[in-house]
Structure 1
Amino acid sequence: YAMATNNPSVFLVMINGQIEGANFPEYDDLYCKYCFVYGNDWAPTSGLEEGISQIACRGQGTQPALVWNFPLEITFKSTNPFGWPQIAVSVYGPDTFGNDVVRGYGAVHVPLTPGKHVRTVPMFVPESTSRLQKFTSWLMGRRPEFTDPKVVAQGEGREVTRVRSQGTVTISFNIVTKDMKKLGYDATPSEALSAAEARTPSLAHPL
């Protein structure tokens, strides 16, 4: 603490927003979980790092969207932009047997510039790699799952995972930063993103 006082080298990133909803044409009665993933130099100072929404049902008529309006609120402090936070989202819903199964995983970086932003996050599911696995998961109504949803926000081992596209999730952000300019981090968004991705590769756009 004394060091922090003598050397005010910390900046803050304040995140408010919501997971607005999702578009999964094939499914209904879905809920989502989220967690923030960030580098070693980052630490949350207030707010919630993870959460779980209520179950949303599709509206009447032709509107396929599921609406959660699930609030996000967290503040991070850091000494440098490497490992810029990402939000990892996983969506779940009932299968034909009434068991909750994963319907999609996705991740996106928290926006780098202050202000209001909306992100549409592509969601993916891991594919079974063998015919037997596919048949067994079809029979049991189960599909492969990542044991840790944070895997989608990390690059290691990602290339050995086969995924299939499945729906989107929409997230709105209001970002406020404090003391970044004082510390010389007044980079353009593209420069800041490349610095952030240097240690936390995004999997919002899988291979």
Structure 2
Amino acid sequence: MAELHVIGQIVGGSGFPQRRLFCKWGLQAGGAWKLLSGLGSGQTQVDDPQADDVAYWCHPLDVHFATKGLQGWPKLLLQVWHQDALGRSEVLGYGFCHLPATPGWHALTCLTWRPRGSWRERLRRRWLGGGPQLLSPPRFTAAGAGERFRLRTETAGAVHLQLGVLLRRFGRYGVQS
């Protein structure tokens, strides 16, 4: 079987309206893919940036996949959360990015979005916190804009990634890198 190794980190997040951020992440792949080693999901620590608007997490990623086909190439699903002074958490943005399909070192920026909500929900979010959240985040997070057409969304911020990709035995299966 062909193998995919991804080694890197979730560097941090920027452009979010609040401070004290953390990121929940998960991997999603098609039926032909099998996670051989590494974690399929996780969470970073909370960072409260003092000097700028970038929250640094430097959270490691190290996964090893085997596959029988290219369909369902792995995606990294991201949720950026805010933790207030009382320890309450609220989601600030959802995003996803495909793991790079070419070997080498990749610096990626994953843009995030969140449900816009009604004017009352936006007013409540501004003054009290909280706001609309997805009931089943994995389903909609990785969905393209065509599948999210019924949702009214707005941009939320960006998550920065640094990933090293190694491909093994893809040439045997007719895939040129």
TM-score by length of 1: 0.77
**Residue 186 (structure 1) aligns with:** 176
TM-fit CA distance, 1:80: 1.0
**Residue 143 (structure 1) aligns with:** 131
CA–CA separation in structure 2 for the residues paired with 1:21 and 1:133: 28
Instruction: State which drifts further: 94-103 or 34-43.
Output: 94-103
Alignment root-mean-square deviation, CA: 2.0
* 1:22 maps onto 2:13 in alignment: yes
**Residue 111 (structure 1) aligns with:** 100
Cα deviation, 1:105-162, whole Å, max 9, x if unaligned, reads 111110011111010111111111x344445555652211122332211247411111
**Residue 125 (structure 1) aligns with:** 114
Q: How many residues align?
A: 175
* 1:88 maps onto 2:77 in alignment: yes
CA–CA separation in structure 1 for the residues paired with 2:126 and 2:87: 14
CA–CA separation in structure 2 for the residues paired with 1:175 and 1:183: 18
**Residue 101 (structure 1) aligns with:** 90
CA–CA separation in structure 1 for the residues paired with 2:116 and 2:85: 19
**Residue 195 (structure 1) aligns with:** none
CA–CA separation in structure 2 for the residues paired with 1:74 and 1:59: 32
Counterpart amino acid of 1:88?
L
Unpaired runs of 5+ residues, structure 1, are: 1-9, 188-207
CA–CA separation in structure 2 for the residues paired with 1:116 and 1:12: 17
Aligned residues with identical type, % of pairs? 27
TM-score by length of 2: 0.90
CA–CA separation in structure 2 for the residues paired with 1:133 and 1:25: 18
State the SS of the aligned residue for 1:160.
coil
Unpaired runs of 5+ residues, structure 2, are: none
Counterpart amino acid of 1:23?
S
State the SS of the aligned residue for 2:149.
helix
**Residue 169 (structure 1) aligns with:** 159
| Aligned 8 A contact 1:38 1:84 in 2 | yes
| Aligned 8 A contact 1:59 1:66 in 2 | no
CA–CA separation in structure 1 for the residues paired with 2:164 and 2:68: 21
CA–CA separation in structure 1 for the residues paired with 2:53 and 2:73: 33
Counterpart amino acid of 2:50?
G
Instruction: State which drifts further: 16-25 or 147-156.
Output: 147-156
Q: Paired residue for 1:75, among 53, 64, 71?
A: 64
CA–CA separation in structure 2 for the residues paired with 1:140 and 1:66: 22
